[in-house]
């Protein structure tokens, strides 16, 4: 696969935005000073563009939906179960998976900083790191969910899970109705990143 070309305009001919220009200049300076190995930078970019991302978590969820034994292992001890699918790495060493049910909806936040299970969900969204989300998720979780377009029945309890550097949480959302005939790969396409944080729900089948 071709590497990341540091001498080409990443925007493929379009004018760089101010922040892109600053990143580009910093990247060039770090390489020039010898602080960054271009090959290592290529490998890092390749990993986060193609290997790490929410599609990994979606695979985990889909497997749990079709394999009851895997689901039990996942809820009992998330890290080794996730590793069974070849997913893991720094930031995913101590995974706890919590299951949504008709009675309980789980919401993940990191109130102190922005701890996030990168190997499973990829790069954290900007809003996850924002102080308003980190504060309101604890104080007004129903209001936060409403902001994301999620309205739960009044009787549904919302449980907040506070991620730390030692423990990262992932939500196992409920399987959508009408998916009984879908295979595992198709089910994975219904799983959204937000549904694994708790700010969203899986997509309905077409």
Contacts of 180 (CB under 8 A, 6+ apart): none
The one catalytic residue in 28, 113, 163, 195 is: 113
Would the annotation count 110 as a binding residue? yes
How open is the CA angle 118-42-26, to the nearest 5 degrees? 90
Q: Is 110 a catalytic residue?
A: yes
The one catalytic residue in 11, 110, 163, 195 is: 110
Would the annotation count 195 as a binding residue? no
The one catalytic residue in 17, 115, 163, 195 is: 115
Angstrom distance (rounded) from CA 108 to CA 170: 7
Angle subtended by helix axes 18-32 and 38-46, to nearest 10: 140
Strand partners, 162: 109
Q: Is 115 a catalytic residue?
A: yes
Q: Is 195 a catalytic residue?
A: no
Angstrom distance (rounded) from CA 132 to CA 144: 10
Select from 157, 166, 145 the least CA-distant residue to 96: 166
The one catalytic residue in 14, 114, 163, 195 is: 114
Angstrom distance (rounded) from CA 167 to CA 163: 6
Q: Is 14 a catalytic residue?
A: no
Annotated binding site for Fe(3+): 110, 113-115
Annotated binding site: 110, 113-115
Q: Which residues are known catalytic residues?
A: 110, 113-115
């Amino acid at each position: 696969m071709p590497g990341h070309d540091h001498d080409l305009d990443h925007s493929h001919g379009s004018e760089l935005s101010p922040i892109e220009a600053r990143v580009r200049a910093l990247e060039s300076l770090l390489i020039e000073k010898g602080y960054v190995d271009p090959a290592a930078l290529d490998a890092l970019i390749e990993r986060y563009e193609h290997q790490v991302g929410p599609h990994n978590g979606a695979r985990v969820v889909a497997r749990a939906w079709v394999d009851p034994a895997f689901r039990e292992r996942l809820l009992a001890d998330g890290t080794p179960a996730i590793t069974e699918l070849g997913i893991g790495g720094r930031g995913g060493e101590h995974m706890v998976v919590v299951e949504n049910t008709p009675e309980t909806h789980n919401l993940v936040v990191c109130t102190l900083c922005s701890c996030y299970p990168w190997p499973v969900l990829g790069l954290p969204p900007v809003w996850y790191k924002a102080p308003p989300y980190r504060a309101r998720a604890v104080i007004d979780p129903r209001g936060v969910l409403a902001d994301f377009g999620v309205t739960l029945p009044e009787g549904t309890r919302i449980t907040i899970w506070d991620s730390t550097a030692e423990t990262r949480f992932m939500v196992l959302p409920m399987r959508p109705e009408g998916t009984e005939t879908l295979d595992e790969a198709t089910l994975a396409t219904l799983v959204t990143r937000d549904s694994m944080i708790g700010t969203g729900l899986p997509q309905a089948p077409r």
